[in-house]
Amino acid sequence: MSDGLVVVDKPGGLTSHDVVGRVRRLARTRRVGHAGTLDPMATGVLVLGVGQATRLLGHLTGTDKAYDATVRLGTSTVSDDATGDVLERRGARGVTEEQVRAGAAALTGDLLQVPSAVSAVKVDGKRAYALVRAGEDVALAARPVRVDAFDVHALRPVGDELDVDVTVRCSSGTYVRALARDLGAALGTGGHLTALRRTAVGPYDLAVARTLEQLEDDLALLPLADAVERAFPRVDVDAEQARLVAHGVQLRAEGPGGLDLPAQGPAGFFGPDGALLALGELHRGRSRYLAVFAG
């Protein structure tokens, strides 16, 4: 077994845990995890870590995401997608493209978004989706999210409803299903998601994703050092500094001779031979390590 990332093009119908199980079998280790789930209905980019790369996953989870999706206006569902029971049918006749584009534009920028009731958000220690399935009413608190783009590409009448193809670029924690719901609410039609394909997680997109069938033939891992360099800023240290980093010793990051660390977020620390040493961040003028890989 090696350490590294696997970028999977997840098929519809499988849970993220199903995909983890497949890769565990292929990698012959249980040390496999994912950087953020995809609903069973959704397809596309699912980033998995194998071995020591599992230590990166919590930091990759917070990266921005991109999606292609189809919103159906005219019907609302309990889950805000096509898998849930119908709550109300209003139809969307008379809704114009101009209205749809204006509604999508209003749902960009910094928002307070109420997550979908059928979601993994915890309420009193229990998952919201479990409470909904048990017949309980769930009221989730709004959370700050950021939607960088909610672009409308095509509109297609489907009976008295309207399908809208969109792309979304957003911060981690944003529910595209909730955007579909809120767009429908703003237009007075109701709305839900009928298709969702994640096209990117941070720097990892469909161009580097592989299907499960391709992975069955060749479980090629993105090496740990390459994975860190692609996702985070790089900090190069000399031989003595490398020795200290390998032992978890904090290094000065201010003043002459200090490390050039980003003001916010993690960075990869690399030795003079190009080897990955650690993932760390700036903390009170010194380096603090989130994961040490050397030694």
Q: Which residues are catalytic?
A: 39
Q: What is the Cα–Cα distance from 43 to 171, expressed in whole angstroms? A: 18
Contact 18, 68 (CB under 8 A): no
Q: What angle do CA 202, 208, 209 make, to 5 degrees?
A: 90
Q: Which helix H or strand E contains 287, and what residues bound it? A: strand 286-292
Give the Å distances, CA to CA, from 205 to 21, 53, 63, 210.
22, 18, 12, 10
Q: What is the Cα–Cα distance from 293 to 183, expressed in whole angstroms? A: 45
Q: What is the Cα–Cα distance from 75 to 89, expressed in whole angstroms? A: 4
Q: What is the Cα–Cα distance from 293 to 276, expressed in whole angstroms? A: 7
Q: What is the Cα–Cα distance from 95 to 112, expressed in whole angstroms? A: 25
Question: Phi-psi region for residue 253, left (φ > 0), alpha (ψ -120 to 50) or beta?
Answer: alpha
